[in-house]
Amino acid sequence: MSEVSRQQEGSLSDCVPVCHACGLNMRETVLKISYPKGTLPVRGFVCLNCGYEVLSFEDAEEASETAEKLGLLEPETVLTGEITESEEQVVLHIPKDIERRFELKKGKKVKIYTKGEEIILMPV
Ligand SMILES: [Zn+2]
């Protein structure tokens, strides 16, 4: 048996939780966590007797990080910026609050993502 598969077996049997209500070992399953803008499949455990579902702290943390990356969470801040034109280029005016928070200055680069009808800016 390889080192890797032994480690996996070890960690699996270590973290199989027991149902608080029934005292039975819970079965590993895929849970769906709902976020404001969608659901995410996450590894979790279910009690086959009563249907109680749990997920580990690590898996929950990882799920919320993934949800944030995928844009499933509500935005923290919603502000309106105005678009104008300068020398035939479109210019987006970013509100002062966001400018200060992300230390945006002339010449600073941002990545521009599109997702459906949304445009997402990420300072680099
Ligand atoms: Zn149970």
15 pLDDT tier (thresholds 50, 70, 90): low
What is the phi/psi pair of residue 74, to 5°? -65, 145
Minimum mean pLDDT range among 1-10, 39-48, 58-67, 95-104:
1-10
Q: Which of 1-5, 35-39, 100-104 has the lowest mean pLDDT?
A: 1-5
Q: How far is the CA of 89 from the centre of ligand 1 (A)?
A: 62
Span 81-97, average pLDDT: 86
Long-range contacts (CB closer than 8 Å, 24 or more residues apart) made by 106-115 = 115/71
Angstrom distance (rounded) from CA 48 to CA 28:
10
Supply the pTM of this predicted model.
0.47
pLDDT of residue 31: 92
Interatomic CA distance for residues 120 and 118, integer angstroms: 6
**How many angstroms is it from 9 CA to the middle of ligand 1?**
24
Per-residue pLDDT, averaged over 52-74, amounts to 88
**Per-chain mean pLDDT for the chain:** 83
Tell me if residue 123 falls in helix, strand or coil. strand
Q: How far is the CA of 16 from the centre of ligand 1 (A)?
A: 13
Residue 18 CA, ligand 1 centroid: distance in Å: 8
Which residues have C-beta within 8 Å of that of residue 75, sequence separation ≥ 6? Answer: none
